[in-house]
Homo-oligomer: A and B are copies of this chain.
Amino acid sequence: MVKNVFIDIDDTLFPTSEFAELARRKAIRAMIEVGLDGDQEKLYGKLLKIIKKKGPNYDHHFDELCKELKLKHPAKYVAAAVGAYHAAKGAIQPYPEVPRTLMKLRESGYLLYIATNGTAVKQWDKLILLGVHIFFEEVFVSETMGMEKNVKFFRKALKHIGAKPENCVMVGDKPSIDLFPPKKLGMKTIRAMMGGRHTIKPGKADFEMKNFSELPKLLKKI
């Protein structure tokens, strides 16, 4: 019987992409507010290019943008951008059904775990801001695990909690990391389809859900 539920964070517990866009747009607007001349949309486009080039976990996107724009006093613009960005990021909210669904799962006797790619402090920050960290027994982050979410990652996590794959399910949005590796190991899988972009590709999960509140019902079916 499935007792252990592993859950992804980004685009599963909250609409990451949506908030990231909002935060980046607010940052650009803040730069203009403190005196930057330029078109909002064009500046946003430049920023996206830098993020694509440097990766989303790079810490100096706005410094890069200032460098590209050849700004004489970058500190002013970096301060404005980073401040606005973090203020917006601090306002992240879970998909509205998430907190009570997690509570319900706990009450039904499931053990909940986080399995996520990213840096430990940033992922913990999200869990705390979302107000859902209290529901989880353990949080497995790729940085601390020493590897991204792959078969080995899940084997290590299962060993750590002393569970067999057949008693575990993974819930996440990205097939390549949230579905295929756990499936290979013999775990069950549920695909989170809340992010609009995921409706395009076909899923290979045991189940799909369009709303987080479907989770208790689906778990009973497994």
Q: Is A120 an interface residue (CB 8 A)?
A: yes
User: Which residues of B lie under 8 Å from residue A5 when comparing CB positions?
Assistant: none
**Interface-side segment among A11-19, A74-82, A161-169, A194-202:** A74-82
Q: Are A75 and B133 in contact, CB atoms less than 8 angstroms apart? A: no
Closest to A63 in B: B121
Q: How far is the CA of A155 from the CA of B120 in the complex (A)?
A: 46
CA distance A122 to B83 in the complex (A): 10
A55 CB within 8 Å of chain B: no
For residues 111 through 139 of chain A, which have their beta carbon under 8 Å from a beta carbon of chain B?
120-125, 127-129, 133, 139
Q: Is A96 an interface residue (CB 8 A)?
A: no
In this assembly, does A27 line the interface, its C-beta being within 8 Å of a C-beta of chain B?
A: no
Check if A128 sits within 8 Å of B87, measured CB to CB: no
Assess whether A34 is in contact with B128, with CB atoms less than 8 Å apart: yes
Contact A80–B34 (Cβ < 8 Å): no
Contact B79 A83 (CB under 8 A): no
Judged by a CB distance under 8 angstroms, whether A86 is at the interface is yes
A80, A127, A141 — which one has the most chain B CB atoms within 10 A of its CB? A80
A45 on interface, CB distance cutoff 8 Å = no
Known: A80-B128, A82-B125. 5 other contacts (CB 8 A): A76-B124, A79-B122, A83-B128, A83-B129, A86-B86
> Does A90 interact with chain B (Cβ within 8 Å)?
yes
Contact of A121 (CB < 8 Å), options: B78, B128, B133: B78
Q: Which residues of B contact A80 (CB under 8 A)?
A: 124, 128
A121: chain B residues at CB < 8 Å are 75, 78-79, 82
The digit string for A134-168, where 1 denotes a CB below 8 A from any CB of B, is 00000101001000000000000000000000000
Interface pair B133/A76, CB less than 8 Å apart: yes
Given A76-B133, A133-B34, A139-B76, A125 and B83 contact (CB-CB distance below 8 Å): yes
21 A–B contact pairs at CB < 8 A? A30-B128, A75-B121, A75-B123, A75-B124, A75-B141, A76-B124, A76-B128, A76-B139, A78-B121, A79-B120, A79-B122, A79-B124, A79-B125, A79-B127, A79-B128, A80-B124, A82-B125, A83-B128, A83-B129, A86-B90, A87-B90
